[in-house]
C-alpha cells in the first residue's frame, strides 16, 4: 500500500521542484482514488452513521509536504549521498503515516495515538528504508536508459549501488 509513497519519495529527490509537485498531484490523486473509491462494506444496522474520513484531495497536500521535506535534502543527493535520502525516505513515510492518522482522528473528533498505530507507522517506515535503495537503483537505471543525468555533471562517476 505504501509502495506508491516510497516510489514518490525516492523520485521527489531526483527531479526539480515543479516536477516533484506534479508527481505529488498525481500520487495524491491516485492515493485518494484508491481510498475513497473502495466500498465500505459495513452493516448499516450496526453503523447507521457513516464514519468520518478525509476529504478527497487531502493526500495531495500530504504528498506535497513530504515531497517538499525530501526535496529539501536534494543538495546532499546531488553530492552523491543517495544513502541519506534512502534513510530520510523512512522518516518522511513515518511523517506521512502519522499525519494522515492524526488528520483522520481529528475528523472523527478525538485525539488518540495508540501504540499499535505507532508500530504500524514504524514498520511502514522501516519497510520504506529497506525498499528505497532498490527503487533508487531502478530510477538510476531508467535514467541511464533515457540518457538523463540524475546527478548533473557526474557522467563518468557511476551512481549505482556499487
* 107 touches 96 (CB < 8 A): no
Q: Does the global pTM surpass 0.85?
A: no
Kindly give, in sequence order, each residue whose CB lies less than 8 Å from that of residue 6, ignoring residues fewer than 6 positions away: 89, 93, 127, 128, 131, 132, 135
For residue 121, how far is the Cα from the chain centroid?
12
Kindly give, in sequence order, each residue whose CB lies less than 8 Å from that of residue 124, ignoring residues fewer than 6 positions away: 2, 93, 94, 97
- pLDDT at position 92, please? 92
Cβ of 67: how many Cβ atoms within 10 Å?
26
More confident residue, 36 or 145: 145
Single out the residue of 99, 97, 58, 92 nearest to residue 74, CA to CA.
92
pLDDT (tens digit, 9 = 90+) per residue, 14-73?
Answer: 888 998 899 999 988 888 777 766 555 655 565 555 555 667 777 888 889 999 998 888
pLDDT (tens digit, 9 = 90+) per residue, 67-100?
Answer: 999 888 888 888 878 888 888 998 999 998 888 8
Amino acid at each position: 500500500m505504501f509502495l506508491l509513497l516510497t516510489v514518490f519519495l525516492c523520485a521527489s529527490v531526483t527531479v526539480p521542484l515543479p516536477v516533484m509537485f506534479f508527481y505529488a498531484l498525481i500520487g495524491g490523486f491516485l492515493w485518494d482514488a484508491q481510498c475513497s473509491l473502495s466500498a465500505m462494506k459495513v452493516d448499516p444496522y450496526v453503523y447507521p452513521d457513516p464514519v468520518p474520513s478525509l476529504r478527497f484531495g487531502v493526500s495531495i497536500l500530504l504528498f506535497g509536504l513530504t515531497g517538499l521535506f525530501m526535496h529539501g535534502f536534494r543538495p546532499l543527493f546531488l553530492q552523491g549521498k543517495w544513502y541519506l535520502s534512502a534513510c530520510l525516505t523512512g522518516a518522511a513515510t513515518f511523517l506521512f503515516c502519522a499525519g494522515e492518522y492524526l488528520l483522520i482522528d481529528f475528523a472523527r473528533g478525538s485525539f488518540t495515538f495508540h501504540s499499535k498505530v505507532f508500530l504500524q507507522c514504524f514498520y511502514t517506515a522501516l519497510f520504506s528504508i529497506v525498499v528505497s535503495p532498490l527503487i533508487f537503483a531502478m530510477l538510476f537505471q531508467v535514467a541511464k536508459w533515457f540518457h538523463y543525468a540524475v546527478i548533473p555533471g557526474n557522467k563518468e562517476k557511476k551512481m549505482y549501488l556499487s
